[in-house]
């Protein structure tokens, strides 16, 4: 064997070895030599191509030197190509019949690109040229070598059927009908540029994709393929007309695309150079089909020739530099391909029939003669096949090769379900239906929807954390924007990560009854609607009461924070019966207009609540509906579609792009989002949401095996005198209180009472059948409970005789049933009490002990005061001068009147004097349109006995007054 490197031996047939030194040749020289040896147009050897040339139109597969489109072997045609042939394909024929080659590589690689322009008038074949180019590239490059982003601003058929190509990273159509997608497309393009730059940097600071791919092919197995990306934008002129600022994205790609192998091909019917704003300097090759005017032809090609082209589609000029311009006819791929079969014999052989043999210095035996290659004959397309060349090719390549990297994710159009977001719901014997993964996150952290992040070409969950300083939440959006649905989704998400012992929800539903389907939800403690004003007020009172009680409980147990309480409660060392409490107000604007007296209590709850685990979730139509002093307390804010984008507190420009789909909105970074549906059945349909909620309630309830959570305690619709006395006795440690019991208050469900010695004046407004007379009967019973007959006398002014027979004779001072009787009786009574006015001889001690007079307390009960005080006079008026000293004189005045017209009664001398003296007022059911009747409180429609008590010391207290039936029906 040869001993020197590179030496060889020639062994003849006689087995004699003759050493020699062979000539050397480099790889570059070998490739150049090979190219010179095959410097013949391969399609010229194809008989089919010859015939196509003869008739002036060539099949694309013939130009590519490929067999019948039905028989293409993609494992072969997608084999790695020489660098010279990369991104270099024929798309038609030149005038001389030779293939027209389009090479979109950059000029440094002997290409025409990297960016180009196609302009063609209607009917010029522009769309077909684009389809031909895309198909030519996909037939010769694998998805590892080349990907596409295909954009059609008008939503035409240019890229129809291309979704099946594995090369396609995105097909974006119909941008003109939804301009919000244009901004998303701009972010997606910028994101792809950034992704490639970061990939090059992370892989070893490669200067460009060419170096990256060279290293990958050279053995860097850790590197993923980074294919070239061709962005084809049809009707880009209309895109720039709608969004002129988009040109900056194209210019950026024109500037950096060369190193990142991101190529632009812009197509349009017209060209307005003024809108390109520097982009034209990056468009190195240009294709001009027939144009609308000579000026447009000059703008594209520098000459008017494209304007004079014949009115046949597919004919145009390719200008690849300042001197070269070639006329061509593009191949047509949207028609059926010719059917071919093999003939028995033929006269010509094509390059596909050639065989590669090893060439050595040894002698070569003569090859035996071979039969002539069979000739391919064209037949008409088979009648059962209707597919075009394009469609058949796409069908053949679909599903082959690696899928392209997705530059464009589908827009947010179909809402996910909360079950989709969790993805791991299981039934736990102790915890019920739960998401273990999200429960482990803790901090009341839950997903509520999907956020679109086009700049990073991904989606992420919309996540809120309500366990800390951001524990209050506001959802703002226009009508039908999905506010109520998101409120239900929030309740559902928290319920699927916590047990009914750990979270409780009190809901005030002004959103059209959207929470009606959740009435049986295990975590729902209370639900109030617009038609239940008493329950609405009771709900707020309950939360206030719980907050006050928890503050006392924390102090008594030495609990310094809600986190400590949660931990100790889980350990079983403390428990006040509640976990984290959520007050949900769906319709804040309604509360402010119809329940304005509840705004301040809810603000107080929000101000103190987070320290004690009490949260507020509210929905509103506009941010302006939420006063600054409330909004400042809200740390989690979600903005859905607004009626006026200028109201946005996130981003006014981005808010204008939010679509009308319910649930769409902006996250705090101004990214588009779509909130989830409160269902776990996997059905992503808002139309059948009621069925999904029913299924949710049923499944959550069936999975929970523990005790039911605490429920809203409601005021009774009626409480008897005996029941009230028993309740007061228990609350007073077993002994009856020495105060006058009026009813049970809403906040604490405890007896409400007044001290007759300190509060001798009381007035009450209410419409018919609201409980006025029953209240007076209750007062009579309380007088008799507190005073013996010799210590109290009752004087009744009752024109309708509603209290006739209710007062025992031993307590009755007088029963006045007419104007004349009342006038005389009250005058006598006023004179009697004037005699108790202390004179100058009364000592301070007597004044302090009220011992300068003796006798019974006098209780004046006036029913239907509106019938008593008329234009004919007011018989009760003589008592007015005595009201200021009533407590000292043993005088008590209690009157009732109709709520209608009560605003005018404010100027009545008796009522005006009572108001000035801060007397306790009671509002029963009435018409809110009467305005503010006692202080700033309006009457509201309510059940009999349901009252708002306005007290100087206790403010406004909702209560159910005691009910005493009449003695005689």
Q: What is the DSSP string of 642-708?
A: -SSGGG-SS-HHHHTT--SSTTEEE-TTS-EEEEPBS--SS---STTHHHHHHHHHHHHHHH--SPP
What is the rounded distance in angstroms from the CA atom of residue 20 to the CA atom of residue 561?
A: 94
What percent of the chain has a predicted confidence (pLDDT) above 90?
Answer: 69
- Token pair in block for residue 892: 């008590």
Q: How many domains does the chain have?
A: 3
Do 637 and 731 belong to one domain?
no
- Token pair in block for residue 618: 């509210």
Average pLDDT over residues 582-587: 98
The answer, yes or no, to whether residue 543 has pLDDT greater than 90, is yes
The answer, yes or no, to whether residue 376 has pLDDT greater than 60, is no
pLDDT score for 340: 61
What is the rounded distance in angstroms from the CA atom of residue 897 to the CA atom of residue 763?
A: 8
Do 464 and 590 belong to one domain?
yes
Coil vs helix vs strand at 427: strand
Do 723 and 699 belong to one domain?
no
pLDDT confidence tier of residue 39, bands split at 50, 70 and 90: very low
Do 795 and 694 belong to one domain?
no
Q: What is the pLDDT of residues 403-435, one digit of tens each?
A: 999 999 888 999 999 999 999 999 999 999 999
- Token pair in block for residue 224: 């993923």
pLDDT confidence tier of residue 956, bands split at 50, 70 and 90: confident
pLDDT score for 819: 93
Q: What is the pLDDT of residues 218-276, one digit of tens each?
A: 889 899 999 999 999 999 998 998 888 899 999 999 999 999 999 999 999 998 877 78
pLDDT confidence tier of residue 2, bands split at 50, 70 and 90: low
Do 738 and 699 belong to one domain?
no
**Distant-in-sequence, close-in-space partners of 123: CB < 8 Å, separation ≥ 6:** 290, 311, 313
pLDDT score for 588: 97
Helix (H) / strand (E) containing 641: none
Q: What is the pLDDT of residues 596-618, one digit of tens each?
A: 889 999 999 999 999 999 999 99
The answer, yes or no, to whether residue 374 has pLDDT greater than 90, is no
Q: Do strands 891-897 and 761-765 pair parallel, antiparallel, or not at all (unpaired)? A: parallel
pLDDT score for 196: 96
**Distant-in-sequence, close-in-space partners of 716: CB < 8 Å, separation ≥ 6:** 744, 960
Do 424 and 468 belong to one domain?
yes
Last residue in a domain, options 342, 372, 403: 342
Q: What is the pLDDT of residues 169-194, one digit of tens each?
A: 999 988 877 777 888 899 999 999 99
Average pLDDT over residues 302-319: 94
Taking the alpha carbons at both ends of the chain, their separation in whole angstroms is 134
| Better-scored residue on pLDDT, 855 or 22 | 855
The answer, yes or no, to whether residue 93 has pLDDT greater than 60, is yes
What is the rounded distance in angstroms from the CA atom of residue 774 to the CA atom of residue 945?
A: 8
Per the CB < 8 A criterion, the answer to whether 451 and 673 are in contact is yes
Within a domain: 382: no
Last residue in a domain, options 291, 322, 342: 342
Could you tell me how far CA 114 lies from the centroid of its own chain?
Answer: 40
State which residues form the domain around 109.
70-342
What percent of the chain has a predicted confidence (pLDDT) above 70?
Answer: 90
Per the CB < 8 A criterion, the answer to whether 112 and 102 are in contact is yes
pLDDT score for 382: 47
Q: What is the pLDDT of residues 107-125, one digit of tens each?
A: 889 899 899 999 999 999 9
What is the rounded distance in angstroms from the CA atom of residue 443 to the CA atom of residue 562?
A: 11
pLDDT confidence tier of residue 896, bands split at 50, 70 and 90: very high
pLDDT confidence tier of residue 40, bands split at 50, 70 and 90: very low
Last residue in a domain, options 321, 342, 363: 342
What is the rounded distance in angstroms from the CA atom of residue 477 to the CA atom of residue 652?
A: 14
User: Catalytic residue at 224?
Assistant: no
The answer, yes or no, to whether residue 394 has pLDDT greater than 90, is yes
Q: Which of 235, 296, 376, 782 is catalytic?
A: 235
| Better-scored residue on pLDDT, 964 or 338 | 964
Do 232 and 290 belong to one domain?
yes
pLDDT score for 850: 84
Q: Choose the most confident range, by mean pLDDT, from 33-37, 318-322, 581-585, 711-715.
A: 581-585
- CA dihedral 650→652→653→655, nearest 10 degrees, is 70
pLDDT score for 364: 56
pLDDT score for 33: 62
> By C-alpha distance, which of 349, 338, 336, 345 is closest to 47?
349
Do 526 and 468 belong to one domain?
yes
Do 685 and 795 belong to one domain?
no
pLDDT score for 860: 97
Within a domain: 740: yes
What is the rounded distance in angstroms from the CA atom of residue 622 to the CA atom of residue 624?
A: 5
The answer, yes or no, to whether residue 343 has pLDDT greater than 50, is no
Burial class (CB in 10 A: 0-12, 13-18, 19+), 936: exposed
pLDDT score for 43: 39
- Token pair in block for residue 356: 């590669």
Do 674 and 723 belong to one domain?
no
Residue 950: CATH number of its domain: 3.40.50.300
Average pLDDT over residues 525-544: 92
Q: Is the peptide bond before 419 cis (omega within 30 degrees of 0)?
A: no
Length of the chain: 969
pLDDT score for 49: 41
| Mean residue pLDDT across the chain | 89
Within a domain: 934: yes
Other C-beta atoms lying within 10 Å of the C-beta of residue 454:
24
Burial class (CB in 10 A: 0-12, 13-18, 19+), 861: buried
| Better-scored residue on pLDDT, 648 or 381 | 648
pLDDT score for 300: 92
pLDDT confidence tier of residue 505, bands split at 50, 70 and 90: very high
Within a domain: 236: yes
pLDDT score for 54: 41
pLDDT score for 581: 98
pLDDT score for 50: 44
pLDDT confidence tier of residue 36, bands split at 50, 70 and 90: low
Q: Do strands 146-152 and 168-173 pair parallel, antiparallel, or not at all (unpaired)? A: parallel
Q: What is the pLDDT of residues 126-163, one digit of tens each?
A: 999 999 999 999 999 999 999 999 999 887 788 989 99
What is the rounded distance in angstroms from the CA atom of residue 626 to the CA atom of residue 483?
A: 15
Ranking 230-234, 351-355, 550-554, 591-595 by mean pLDDT, the lowest is 351-355
pTM for the structure as a whole = 0.79
As beta bridge partners, residue 948 has 923, 958
Do 698 and 724 belong to one domain?
no
- Token pair in block for residue 521: 């939800």
pLDDT score for 53: 42
Average pLDDT over residues 12-32: 66
Ranking 237-241, 442-446, 774-778 by mean pLDDT, the lowest is 237-241
The answer, yes or no, to whether residue 70 has pLDDT greater than 90, is no
Q: Choose the most confident range, by mean pLDDT, from 13-27, 309-323, 783-797, 951-965.
A: 783-797
Within a domain: 662: yes
Do 131 and 169 belong to one domain?
yes
pLDDT confidence tier of residue 534, bands split at 50, 70 and 90: confident
Per the listing, tokens 């020739």 go with 305
Within a domain: 287: yes
Looking at 95-145, which runs of residues are DSSP E strands?
99-103, 116-119
The answer, yes or no, to whether residue 308 has pLDDT greater than 60, is yes
pLDDT confidence tier of residue 847, bands split at 50, 70 and 90: confident
pLDDT score for 947: 92
């Amino acid at each position: 064997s040869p001993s020197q490197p590179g030496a060889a031996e020639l062994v003849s047939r006689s087995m004699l070895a003759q050493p020699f030194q062979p000539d050397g040749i480099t790889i570059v020289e070998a490739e150049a030599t090979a190219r010179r040896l095959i410097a013949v147009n391969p399609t010229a050897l194809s008989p089919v191509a010859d015939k196509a040339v003869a008739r002036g139109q060539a099949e694309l597969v013939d130009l590519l030197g490929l067999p019948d489109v039905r028989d293409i072997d993609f494992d072969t045609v997608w084999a790695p190509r020489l660098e010279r042939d990369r991104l270099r394909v024929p798309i038609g024929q030149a005038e001389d019949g030779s293939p027209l080659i389009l090479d979109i590589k950059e000029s440094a690689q002997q290409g025409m690109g990297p960016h180009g322009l196609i302009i063609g008038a209607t009917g010029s074949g522009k769309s077909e040229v684009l389809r031909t180019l895309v198909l030519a590239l996909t037939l010769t490059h694998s998805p590892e070598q080349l990907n596409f982003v295909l954009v059609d601003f008008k939503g035409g058929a240019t890229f129809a059927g291309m979704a099946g190509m594995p090369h396609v990273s995105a097909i974006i159509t119909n941008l003109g009908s939804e301009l919000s997608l244009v901004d998303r497309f701009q972010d997606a393009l910028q994101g792809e540029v950034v992704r490639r730059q970061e990939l090059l940097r992370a892989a070893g600071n490669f200067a460009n994709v060419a170096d990256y791919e060279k290293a990958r092919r050279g053995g860097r197995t850790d590197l993923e393929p980074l294919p070239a990306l061709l962005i084809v934008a049809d009707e880009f002129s209309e895109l720039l007309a709608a969004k002129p600022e988009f040109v900056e994205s194209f210019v950026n790609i024109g500037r950096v695309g060369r190193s990142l192998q991101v190529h632009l091909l812009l197509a349009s019917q017209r060209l307005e150079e003024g809108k390109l704003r520097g982009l034209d300097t990056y468009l190195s090759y240009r294709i001009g089909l027939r144009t609308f005017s000579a000026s447009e032809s000059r703008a594209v090609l520098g000459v008017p020739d494209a304007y004079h082209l014949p009115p046949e589609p597919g004919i145009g000029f390719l200008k690849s530099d300042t001197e070269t311009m070639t006329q061509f006819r593009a191949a047509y791929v949207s028609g059926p391909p010719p059917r071919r079969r093999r003939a028995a014999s033929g006269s010509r052989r094509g390059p596909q029939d050639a065989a590669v043999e090893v060439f050595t210095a040894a002698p070569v035996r003569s090859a035996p003669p071979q039969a002539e290659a069979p000739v391919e004959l064209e037949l008409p397309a088979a009648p059962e096949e209707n597919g075009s060349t394009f469609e058949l090719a796409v069908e053949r390549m679909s599903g082959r090769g690696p899928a392209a990297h997705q530059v464009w994710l589908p827009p947010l159009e179909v809402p996910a379900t909360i079950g989709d977001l969790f993805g791991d719901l299981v039934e736990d014997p102790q915890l019920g239906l739960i998401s273990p993964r999200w429960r482990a996150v803790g901090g009341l952290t839950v997903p509520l929807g999907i956020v679109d992040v086009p700049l990073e070409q991904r989606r992420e969950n919309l996540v809120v954390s309500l366990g800390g300083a951001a524990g209050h939440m506001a959802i703002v959006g226009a009508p039908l924007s999905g506010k109520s649905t998101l409120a239900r989704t929030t309740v559902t998400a928290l319920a699927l990560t916590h047990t009914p012992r750990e979270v409780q929800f009190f809901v005030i539903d002004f959103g059209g009854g959207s929470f009606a389907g959740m009435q049986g939800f295990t975590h729902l403690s209370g639900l109030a609607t617009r038609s239940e004003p008493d329950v609405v007020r009771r709900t707020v009172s309950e939360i206030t009461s719980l907050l006050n009680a928890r503050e006392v409980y924390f102090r008594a147990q030495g609990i310094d924070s809600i986190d400590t309480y949660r931990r100790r409660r889980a350990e079983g060392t403390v428990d006040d019966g509640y976990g984290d409490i959520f007050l949900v107000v769906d319709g804040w604007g309604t509360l402010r207009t119809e329940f304005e007296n509840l705004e301040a209590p809810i603000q107080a709850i929000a101000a103190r609540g987070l320290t004690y685990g009490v949260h507020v979730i509210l929905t509103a139509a506009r941010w302006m509906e939420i006063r600054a002093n409330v909004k400042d307390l809200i740390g989690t804010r979600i903005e859905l579609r607004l009626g006026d984008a200028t109201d946005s507190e996130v981003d006014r420009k981005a808010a204008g792009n939010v679509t009308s789909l319910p649930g769409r909105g902006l996250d705090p970074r101004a990214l588009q989002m779509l909130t989830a549906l409160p269902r776990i059945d996997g059905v992503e349909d808002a139309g059948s949401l009621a069925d999904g909620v029913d299924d949710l309630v049923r499944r959550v309830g069936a999975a929970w095996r523990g005790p039911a959570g605490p429920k809203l305690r409601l005021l009774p619709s009626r409480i008897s005198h005996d029941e009230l006395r028993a309740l007061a006795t228990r609350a007073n440690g077993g002994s009856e209180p020495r105060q006058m019991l009026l009813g049970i208050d809403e906040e604490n469900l405890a007896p409400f009472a007044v001290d007759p010695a300190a509060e001798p004046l009381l007035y009450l407004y209410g419409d018919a059948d609201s409980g006025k007379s029953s209240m007076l009967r209750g007062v009579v019973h309380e007088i008799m409970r507190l005073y013996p007959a010799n210590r109290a006398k009752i004087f009744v002014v009752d024109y309708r005789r509603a209290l006739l027979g209710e007062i025992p004779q031993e307590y009755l001072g007088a029963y006045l049933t007419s104007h004349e009787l009342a006038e005389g009786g009250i005058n006598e009574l006023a004179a009697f009490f004037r005699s108790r006015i202390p004179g100058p001889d009364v000592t301070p001690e007597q004044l302090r002990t009220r011992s300068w007079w003796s006798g019974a307390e006098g209780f004046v009960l006036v029913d239907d005061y509106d019938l008593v005080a008329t234009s004919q006079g007011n018989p009760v008026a003589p008592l007015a001068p005595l009201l200021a000293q009533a407590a000292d004189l043993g005088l008590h005045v209690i009157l009732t009147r109709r709520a209608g017209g009560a605003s005018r009664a404010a100027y009545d001398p008796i009522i005006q004097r009572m108001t000035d003296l801060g007397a306790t007022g009671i509002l029963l059911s009435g018409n809110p349109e009467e305005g503010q009747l006692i202080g700033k409180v309006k009457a509201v429609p309510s059940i009999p006995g349901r009252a708002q008590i306005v007290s100087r010391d206790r403010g406004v207290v909702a209560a159910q007054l005691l009910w005493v039936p009449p003695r005689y029906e």
